[in-house]
Amino acid sequence: MLQIPFIRDNKDRIISNLAKRNIDATDMISEVLKLDETRRSTQTQLDNTLAEANSLSKEIGNLFKSGETQKATILKEKSGTLKELSKELTENLNETAEALNQLLYKIPNVPNDSVPAGNSEDDNEEIFRAGDIPKLFDGALPHWELAKKYDIIDFELGNKIAGAGFPVYKGKGARLQRALIAYFLDKNTAAGYTEYQLPHLVNEASGFGTGQLPDKEGQMYHVTADNLYLIPTAEVPGTNIFRDVVLNESDLPIGITGYTPCFRREAGSYGAHVRGLNRLHQFDKVEILRVEHPDHSYQALDGMVAHVKTILEELQLPYRILRLCGGDLGFTSALTFDFEVFSTAQDRWLEISSVSNFETFQANRLKLRFKNKDGKNELAHTLNGSSLALPRVLAGILENCQTEQGIKIPDVLVPYTGFSIID
């Protein structure tokens, strides 16, 4: 959520940069400033009324003590009027503050100046590419056919148990899935991230804290009886560790990592592009999160990008990095880099990671602050990234590493799988 002082001081820049998201925010920002002015003037009027009422109360007490009952009675009537006025002002103040908050919840984060304008993923900027795209043999198969051929993933069984988008991993497929999770976590902890095991459901406050609510409410599974939500990513429970927390500046930076299943309704997702592992309702992901000093967050973002690069290079998968345009940028993000792996059998790029800086947007919702060197509370910056989402990484390995003898496991994973080929 944007901060009011930031909006006051940067109105034109905010409107200009939100235009990169194809949003004309002029009216919204003007309404925010109008409501804020009303809120502040009402607060001032309330403070003055309460101060006058307190002063009058003391005066009335003194008059009664000195026997000036008539004067005290007159002032008591005035005191009653002030109490009614303060009650009315308090109600107006609460209504204005609520209207202001509801409007602020609807305004997305302001894109960083480096974010390109654009309407959709077609306007994203490719900034890096590495790895050779393999030339497959005649008869090479997409991963959903390979899964059936080697009996490692059963999509039909998952459909029977739960429905489309809930695959069942079997045998070496399950072992490869577990190997990837362990490898990702080991890489992250070696890089200084502390591992956490996190809840798979969160409350409403957690959803609001990281910006999934109200923006992505329709994409989340809602357990209505308990008003809990299945997590769409470990970002939600992981970041909410720091909700309503005041850190010391010396505590920063903080880096955590965690593996969780993720649940997304993916309403309206149909067609050949979502076949197999390309888009699921339940999938596994290893996440990295950082809480940073505002002065260092973009350096930290570069470090996260470099970290994910090393993982993909060790997996020997061809990949590219995109800087997302405004039209494809997530609601809470100021700047996002997407990693995509090339699927040779499908002849298309598959997104496997997003690494984002949210600046103070989430921290303001979370009330995540730190005491700076002057002893004042200051909002921290939050960042997160996938390292990595498993389904499309697995799809890339199956498709790009297939040979006529079987699927060759990347060397870095063999110590985790215990086998070097799926045949």
CATH number for the domain harbouring residue 46 = 1.10.287.40
Residue 114 lies in a domain: no
Of 106, 130, 145, the one marking the end of a domain is 106
Query: In which domain, by residue range, is 400 found?
Result: 121-422
220, 279: one domain = yes
Q: Is 264 annotated as a binding residue?
A: yes
Q: What is the pLDDT of residue 25?
A: 97
Task: Please state, in angstroms and as integers, the Cα–Cα distance from residue 415 to each residue in 160, 183, 304, following that order.
Answer: 34, 9, 25
92, 163: one domain = no
Q: What is the pLDDT of residue 63?
A: 82
Q: What is the pLDDT of residues 169-212, one digit of tens each?
A: 999 999 999 999 999 999 999 999 999 999 999 999 999 999 99
Rounded distance between C-alpha atoms, residue 229 and residue 227, angstroms: 7
Q: What are phi and psi of 205, to 5 degrees?
A: -60, -40
Three-class SS state of 257: strand
Inter-residue contact 200 to 206 (CB < 8 Å): no
337, 404: one domain = yes
Of 52, 82, 106, the one marking the end of a domain is 106
Q: Is 233 annotated as a binding residue?
A: yes
Q: Is 352 annotated as a binding residue?
A: yes
Residue 8 lies in a domain: yes
Residue 113 lies in a domain: no
Residue 396 lies in a domain: yes
User: Which residue from 164, 266, 179 is spatially nearest to 218, judged by alpha carbons?
Assistant: 266
292, 364: one domain = yes
89, 237: one domain = no
Residue 112 lies in a domain: no
Residue 9 lies in a domain: yes
Q: What is the pLDDT of residues 250-306, one digit of tens each?
A: 999 999 999 999 999 975 555 556 789 999 999 999 999 999 999 999 999 999 999
327, 287: one domain = yes
Of 78, 106, 134, the one marking the end of a domain is 106
326, 281: one domain = yes
Residue 116 lies in a domain: no
- Could you report the average pLDDT of every consecutive run of 10 residues in the chain (423 residues)? 97 97 97 98 96 88 82 83 93 97 95 96 97 93 97 97 96 98 98 98 97 86 96 97 98 98 77 80 97 98 98 97 97 97 93 97 98 96 96 96 97 98 97
First to last CA, the chain: 51
User: Which residue from 327, 354, 330 is spatially nearest to 340, judged by alpha carbons?
Assistant: 354
158, 216: one domain = yes
Inter-residue contact 349 to 343 (CB < 8 Å): yes
Q: Is 404 annotated as a binding residue?
A: no
CATH number for the domain harbouring residue 352 = 3.30.930.10
User: Which residue from 181, 182, 137 is spatially nearest to 407, judged by alpha carbons?
Assistant: 137
Question: Between β-strands 407-408 and 369-371, what pairing exists: parallel, antiparallel or unpaired?
Answer: unpaired
99, 126: one domain = no
Structure tokens at 151: 């009996």
Q: Is 265 annotated as a binding residue?
A: yes
Please give the tally of structural domains in the chain: 2
Inter-residue contact 356 to 335 (CB < 8 Å): yes
Q: What is the pLDDT of residue 291?
A: 98
Q: Is 266 annotated as a binding residue?
A: yes
39, 171: one domain = no
95, 224: one domain = no
User: Which residue from 295, 208, 206, 215 is spatially nearest to 242, judged by alpha carbons?
Assistant: 206
Q: Where are the beta strands (DSSP E) in 306-371?
A: 319-323, 335-343, 348-357, 369-371
Instruction: Report cis status (omega within 30 of 0) of the bond before 391.
Output: no
Residue 18 lies in a domain: yes
74, 151: one domain = no
